[in-house]
Every structure is written in structure tokens, then in C-alpha cells.
Structure 1
Amino acid sequence: MNEIKAIKLALCAFFLASSCYAQTVEGVDYSDRKNVDKTFDMDGTDIFGQRFPSESLVITDPVTGVKITALTTSRHSSSKIYQDQPSWTADGKYIVFSSNRNTAAGGNVTFASKTAPQKSRQYYAISMANHEIVQVTTGTAAGNLLVGHQHNLAFHFRGKDVIELNLGALLADSEHGKVKDSASYERVVASIPEDLKPGGMCLDVNDSRIFFSTRSGDQASTIYSVDFKTNKTTKLVEVPFRTGHFQANPFLTGEMLYCWETGGDAPQRMWILSVDKNGKAVNRPVYKEKADEWVTHEVFAGPDHILFNVMGHIDRLRKNPTGIMSLNIRTGEAKLLGQAKELGGYWHAYGTKDLKWAVGDTFNGNIYRFNIEKGNTTLLTTGHRPNTQSPFSSQAHAHQSISPNGKWILFNSSMLTDSDIMMVPLHPEGLN
């Protein structure tokens, strides 16, 4: 009798589960819409490999007429990877970004306990084909995710271990609805000494080592590299200042650019660290700046050039030429590309690898394109930092970058919410 009762209960549970899965209500089957409530992830779930429907929206810029593609439009805060690191997977099919959509309230949880650990932003990938979104990290230790230059991989530290994440396999499995547990896509490729606490970091263009820094007291930093093939951590240089904005030369192995980080104007902002095939490290400043120049937001543009901005947002800085500059890091030859007429001038810069085109943004969220050869500029899109002209307001910093194929400008915007990710074509004329 008990066995019959157990079978009946099991069958009842089965039919109830089937009914719930089918989402049949009052005789209508809604199962084809079973994931529609995940559009903006209202539950704030942290589920590795989960997919979200596209939330993209095309907006016509009211000033320029250029079509803006808002890739994220939810109530959550979404940000592209900083402009000095790759945002696209190596095959160009996905954009990797961070978001707090794993939290129910759309904001980071600020408390932690053994039963309720603190949640952090996670990384996601958005398809260039259909704009669907996939969660690619999970848990509390994602840290800075470094997207591979050559392969569909990503790397991050977990404690002393360097973790390789197989993005290619994960995204392929997600497309087919066959995602495994997160450990199935990870492997430890190197380990660093336990007493080192990585701060700034970047992935060498050959995808086989990471450059990273640690604090060496209040006013000093030490830069190391960790090699994935040899599992060797090497001390490269110690400098008497805080370092930041690490970026590998995306065209040349063994070279990285970094800054003297002050949170404002630095005595000498930009530095190059080069390591030859024998392991010899050479550290040197680039662009010897004047005491009344404020240099910021440097980024590689080709193997031998960088772009950066000389700030002009306050009166005392305007004694010298200001604006976006190009610098040959081999010869020291500098060229001023131009300065915006808007209050404060330009802020961030990015360029194509052939040094034909560059883009700059302003404090009120307008984005311009430079024709470097002809020396002219074109306003592409406007209003991405509405109601502010201050670099210190809470609205999103554009941090724009150009897609590897040279077609798209990717940037952060506060047009719709506090921070969304948007794209505009670098050459909208070619789309007409």
C-alpha cells in the first residue's frame, strides 16, 4: 500500500513539474515564452553560462542623424572593458563587458557573511550577430578579466593562480544550450608567490604571460611578469610611485605602457617597459611633459605610436597647446591632432592601427572622428553625458575603443541609464 502511495505521489509531482515547466495557465500554453522574464534579469541571478535575450535598441542621434545601437538598456549598470584592453573576443564575434545584473536590486551588495557572501560585478559577452548576452564568470573572485589577443580565451587571477577561461568553448556550448559547470572551462596556467598581491595588469599580445604590479609600500610599486609556459614569476622593475593603466602593446610582444597613477595630474604620466628575448627589462618615460601640462588616457595606436590627451579643462592648463596628441614612441615625434571647441575640450582618445582615423570624446558626452591624414573632424554622436560638463560627475566615462575590423566605436553612455554600452559606426557615410 505504501509503495502504491509513493508511486502516486511521484506521478503527481511529475505532472505538477511538467505543468509548471509548460507554463500552462487557464488552458493556454506559454512555454514558448518561458525565458521572457529574463530580459532584464529581474531576479538578479548569478548563473554561469546563462543567456539573456537581446535588449538592444537603435536610436537616431537627433543632432547628427547617425544610428546609435544601445547594446544594453536594462536598469543595471553595464560597462565596457577599459579602452586599453581588448573588448572583443579574438574572432570578433562577441564583446566582453561587466555588469551588476547578477544582483537583484541592480546594485552591488555591500555586506558579506558566511551565509550571504558579498556579490560582485560579473563579466558577460554580447553577440555581435544577435546581441544576446551570456554570463561568462561567476562567484566572488572574477577580478580583472583579460581577454585574449590571439585566441578566444580570457585570463584572471584567483588568489595566487592564473586561471585560463576557454571563452570559445563556453560561448559555443551556450549557443547550443549545453553549458557545463564553470570548472570545465578553466585551467590553472601559472601560479605566483603567495606574498604578491596583483594590482594593475595586462596580457602580453602573445597570450602567454601577464605583466602585473604590486605595491611596495605607500609610495612605490614593483612590476613583475608571470610566464604561462615556464610558470616563472620575474621581477622587472621597481618604481617610486603608484602604477596604473597597464596595457600591452597589441602589435609587439614584450612591451607594455603604464602610467604614474595619482588620481589626477602626475609629474610624469606615461612610461614604457620593454623586455627583450633574453629577459632584460628597460623602463623609460615617454613624452617629457611640462610642469603645467596634464597628460592622461594614453592608448596604443599601431606598434610604434600612442595617442593621449593633454587636458584643457581649467584655465591654467591653457597656456600650452591642449588636445589629443599622437606620439611616435621610437623617435619621440609628437603631433597635435586637435582640440574640441566645447568647454573642457577632449577627454579620451582611440585610433586605428593604420593611424588614419582616431576618435575623441568630450566631457558632455559628444564623440568626434578625426581624419588624421586630412586634419579634419566629424561629430558622430551627442548627449551621452547629459547635463554635465565635468569630468568628476558620476555619469559614465565613454572610454571608447574601435573594433578590430575598424567598423564600430564602442563606448559607455549615460543617455538612457547611469551606464550602458553603445556603438556607432566609425564611417556612417558608408552605410548610406
Structure 2
Amino acid sequence: MKFKILLSTFFIFATATIFGQIGTRFPSEKKTVKDPVTGQKLTFLTTKSAGDSKTYPTHPQWTSDGEWLIFRSNRVKGEAMAVNEKSGIIVQVTEGGYNGTLCMAQKSMKLYFMRNGQDNKMQVMEVNLANVFADSKSGKMKSVSEYERVCGITNPEMGASGDMALDADEEIVYFRVGKEEAAKHLDSEVVIEKNFGPRNMGAGPGGIGSMNLKTGEFKHVISVPFQIGHIQSNIWNPGEIVFCWETGGKSPQRTWTVMADGTGLRPLYPEADYEWVTHEVVISKDEVAMAIMGHRKIDIEKDVPVEVSESTGIRNPVNPGQESNWGATGTREKPTGLAIVNLRTREMIIAGQTKSGSGLWHVHGSADGRWAVGDDFSRSLYLIDRKTNEMMMLTTGHKETASDHVHPTFNREGTKIEIQSAMLSEDNRTMNICIVNVPKEWLKRKTK
């Protein structure tokens, strides 16, 4: 009996070790279904309830060869996965965990991220995906050190976080630093912002640092008097950064841009008090898409936004922004919708807006300027032809009870969109990785 217990314990330990190794392969779960409302084809690359979620739309989703999508998953808790879009095969691509954003290079088959090291130090890691995929396919995996490289290690005093972005030249990463580090580089006369809104977020100071992936050299980019979030690079233009004032909702001035040498700091889209701007994302060399929300109805008699609850400050657990504490903002008394700002001319256009409901919420666009896409509170997905302003619903029914939002992101060619969806989820919460193609009849349209 004792021998059996020992053998069983060894088997469990060995199995856990094997399935925690980089290069571990999982069988295809790929499944194609028709949207029950629109009839559009949906290709689910994962279908099991394994805690899948895609990388945020501010970052590329596909590897540089266009064949694999990187995503988060609990198949091996704390590790990242890649799924081959054609075969459906899933491969574990990290070993030892990661912290924050997964950054896919677009000029090489490399993956970058931060990892918690010893003594509160953060390691900036590089993974050679080409070697991982090749050895995983052959069944001859080596030790993890053969695939990973430590590019640099931050000092604990930096307070570095995994909110990280890879520069267009793929030689530098940008990341958020802590309040103490940010304060060191801020003029003492600058007034530090306090928390804003019912989520008690947004207080400063905040800062961005950079690290050279070849030399490990660190530099300070910028400090600001507010909380920084959603750091992203312009992957077509080296040295250009976009970030936000993060409050968890409406910000006094949401969107910002700065160059890697700290020059050119300015609001990306100077917003009015009544505008609720959110979910900015660089979509091409010269353009940033963002949502100007129109999700709050007006109580005509009281002349204030209608609240979900009579109690002030109660956060809607499904859809945000209904608390009275946000003030008179986010209504449709002024223009709202999927906005696209030109980084060079600073001109803004509204590409489209839903006729009713929350309005477009998480947004993206194709790099060639043909398409824009956005989801809404119902988790429906809308495609916009930027030349004709025509809008069509691609898919719906992805369940408002899902553990996260749809978060649409175009591939580099502008022919397909990745989303995360709970459509197939039995518990109505667990999400899967899903691909929605731009309809063929739209792709055939002349681009002139």
C-alpha cells in the first residue's frame, strides 16, 4: 500500500512537471460555428473551459509569421499559450510565469514580457518562439534556458510593472514605473493629481521607463502627475508612445502621447468635460482609434444622466459607467462614437456609432485604413467600412455575463479580427479565442 501511494505521488508530481514545461502540446480544439443571428462564420480556436483570454487590443496578437496567436490560459496556470490558426494545435510558450502584457515582435519570432524575480526585481524576458515551435513539433524539447533570455533586471526601487510595450525597432521596451521613481523626475512645483471617480483610481505621480534589449540599459522617459495605464508603442514608427490617464472610467484627460526621449508630451485628443473617452489603440503609422462613449441616458426632468441604482456610487458589475460619481458625462447630447485621430495632423473623425445602446466601446482598425471595428455592452461586434461609412453587425450573443469583454483586434493584413468570447461557455463566463473574418464581399470592394 505504501509503495502504491509513493508511486501515485510520483506520477502526480511527474505529470505536473511535464505539463508545466515550455513546448508542451495540447490537441486542437478548433471548431467553426455560424453566428445564430448574423450567420457569419466564427472560428473558435479554443473551446474548452480553460480560462483563456487574449492579449489587450493595444498590442499585436499574431506572431510575425502570421501563423500563431499568443494568449493567456489556465491550461498551465500562470503560463502563456500559442495556438496555430491553421491546425489548431496549442503550445505552451513560457515556463516560470509572466507578469502583465505579452509583447509579440512583428519583425522576428520573439515574445517579450516581464517576470517577477528575486527581491522584488523584475526580469525582462525574451522567448525564441521559432525554436520552441520547431522543437515542440519534433518532440525534442531542451531545457527552458535554451529558449529564454533575460534581457535585463530592474532595480526594486523602480517599482517596474508588467504594463509593457515593444518599440517598432524591437530594440527597446517601455514600461510603467512606480510612484516613488516617477516623483524623482517630476518638478516639485507640479501639482499631483488626486483620485478621480468612484473607483478611487488616477492619483499620481506616474512614469514610464525604457530598457534596451541588447545592452540592458535603463532610461527614464517621462513623469506625469497622474496614474499611467495602457502603455503602447506605435509599431510602425520607432520612438513613439501612447498611454492613458487611468481612472477605471472617465478621465479628466484620457489619452496622451510622448516620444521615447521624453519630448513631445501632449494630450492625444484634448477632450471636453462632457466627453467620456476610453480604449485608445494605435491602429496604423499615423492613426489612433478610441471610443467616445455614448452609454448614459439623460433624465430630462433632472437634467442629469440616468443612474442604474438610486444609490450613488454603486458600480454596475456587468457594464461600467452608470455610477452618479462620474458626473454629467458620456451622454449623447454631443457627438459620440468610434473616433480616429491622426497623430500628425491632429484631426479627428467619427467613423461610426450604433443607433442606440451603449455605443461602441472597445475599438480597433485595420492598418490599411479600410476598416474599423468595435464592440458594445451587449458584446456585439460591428464592422465599419471607413470609405462608405457603412456599418454591419458581424456577431452577437457573446454573453454579457462573460468574465471579460470582446476586445476586437485586427490582424496586420486587415482581413480578420480576433475576439474573446463566452458564446460556447457552459458556465456563461469562461471565454475562448475566436476569429471573425471580414466578409468576402467587403474585401472585394474597390479600395479607391
Q: Same fold (TM over 0.5)?
A: yes
Alpha-carbon contact 2:367-2:413 (below 8 Å) kept: no
Counterpart amino acid of 1:172? A
Q: 2:280 aligns with which of 273, 280, 298?
A: 298
- CA offset at residue 395 of structure 1? 3.8
Counterpart for residue 422 of structure 1: 434
Alpha-carbon contact 1:271-1:284 (below 8 Å) kept: yes
Instruction: Please list every run of at least 4 consecutive aligned residues from structure 1 whose deviation after the TM superposition is greater than 6 angstroms.
Output: 41-44
Counterpart for residue 71 of structure 1: 45
Structure 1: distance between partners of 2:100 and 2:146: 19
Deviations 1:42-65 (A, max 9, x none): 999423211111101111112221
Tell me the SS of whatever aligns to 1:320: coil
Task: Call closer, same or farther: CA 1:284–1:431 in 2, change over 3 Å.
Answer: closer
Structure 2: gaps (5+ residues) = 1-14, 181-202, 298-304, 306-330
Deviations 1:61-87 (A, max 9, x none): 122211111111102110111111111
Counterpart for residue 7 of structure 1: none
Q: 2:89 aligns with which of 117, 132, 153?
A: 132
Structure 1: distance between partners of 2:409 and 2:212: 28
Counterpart for residue 112 of structure 1: none
- CA offset at residue 164 of structure 1? 1.2
Task: Call closer, same or farther: CA 1:196–1:375 in 2, change over 3 Å.
Answer: same
Counterpart for residue 340 of structure 2: 326
Structure 1: gaps (5+ residues) = 1-40, 103-119
Q: Which structure: larger Rg?
A: 1
Task: Call closer, same or farther: CA 1:212–1:431 in 2, change over 3 Å.
Answer: closer
Q: What TM-score, normalized to structure 1?
A: 0.80
Alpha-carbon contact 1:221-1:243 (below 8 Å) kept: yes
Q: 2:209 aligns with which of 224, 228, 234?
A: 224
Is 2:419 aligned against 1:407? no
Task: Call closer, same or farther: CA 1:239–1:142 in 2, change over 3 Å.
Answer: closer
Counterpart for residue 207 of structure 1: 170
Q: 2:369 aligns with which of 332, 355, 367?
A: 355
Alpha-carbon contact 2:402-2:422 (below 8 Å) kept: no
Q: 2:109 aligns with which of 134, 141, 152?
A: 152
Q: What TM-score, normalized to structure 2?
A: 0.78
Task: Call closer, same or farther: CA 1:140–1:151 in 2, change over 3 Å.
Answer: closer
Structure 2: distance between partners of 1:395 and 1:125: 21
Tell me the SS of whatever aligns to 2:341: strand
Tell me the SS of whatever aligns to 1:290: coil
Q: 1:192 aligns with which of 154, 166, 176?
A: 154
- CA offset at residue 431 of structure 1? 9.3
- CA offset at residue 334 of structure 1? 0.7
Deviations 1:20-40 (A, max 9, x none): xxxxxxxxxxxxxxxxxxxxx
- CA offset at residue 183 of structure 1? 1.2
Counterpart amino acid of 2:263? A
Alpha-carbon contact 1:100-1:121 (below 8 Å) kept: yes
Counterpart amino acid of 1:59? V
Alpha-carbon contact 2:254-2:278 (below 8 Å) kept: yes
Structure 2: distance between partners of 1:127 and 1:55: 11
Tell me the SS of whatever aligns to 1:220: strand
Tell me the SS of whatever aligns to 2:231: strand
Tell me the SS of whatever aligns to 1:396: coil
Q: 1:180 aligns with which of 125, 130, 142?
A: 142
Structure 2: distance between partners of 1:176 and 1:45: 17
- CA offset at residue 184 of structure 1? 1.0
Could you tell which deviates more after superposition, 205-214 or 134-143? 134-143
Task: Call closer, same or farther: CA 1:140–1:300 in 2, change over 3 Å.
Answer: closer
- CA offset at residue 301 of structure 1? 1.9
Counterpart amino acid of 2:102? L
Alpha-carbon contact 1:270-1:285 (below 8 Å) kept: yes
Structure 2: distance between partners of 1:56 and 1:396: 21
Task: Call closer, same or farther: CA 1:271–1:142 in 2, change over 3 Å.
Answer: closer
Counterpart for residue 55 of structure 1: 29
Task: Call closer, same or farther: CA 1:131–1:143 in 2, change over 3 Å.
Answer: same
Counterpart for residue 108 of structure 1: none
Counterpart amino acid of 1:197? G
Tell me the SS of whatever aligns to 2:358: coil
- CA offset at residue 365 of structure 1? 1.5
Counterpart amino acid of 1:165? V
Q: Report how many aligned residue pairs link the two structures.
A: 366
- Aligned identity (percent) is 37
Structure 1: distance between partners of 2:131 and 2:442: 34
Structure 1: distance between partners of 2:412 and 2:165: 18
Structure 2: distance between partners of 1:86 and 1:251: 12
Could you tell which deviates more after superposition, 313-322 or 242-251? 313-322
Deviations 1:376-401 (A, max 9, x none): 1111111112xx3xxxx654311110
Task: Call closer, same or farther: CA 1:384–1:342 in 2, change over 3 Å.
Answer: farther
Counterpart amino acid of 1:408? K
Counterpart amino acid of 2:344? R
Task: Call closer, same or farther: CA 1:307–1:261 in 2, change over 3 Å.
Answer: same
Counterpart amino acid of 1:287? Y
Counterpart for residue 8 of structure 1: none
Task: Call closer, same or farther: CA 1:58–1:43 in 2, change over 3 Å.
Answer: farther
- CA offset at residue 176 of structure 1? 1.4
Tell me the SS of whatever aligns to 1:195: helix
Match runs of 1:243-392 below 5 Å:
243-275=228-260, 279=261, 281-315=263-297, 316=305, 317-385=331-399, 388=400
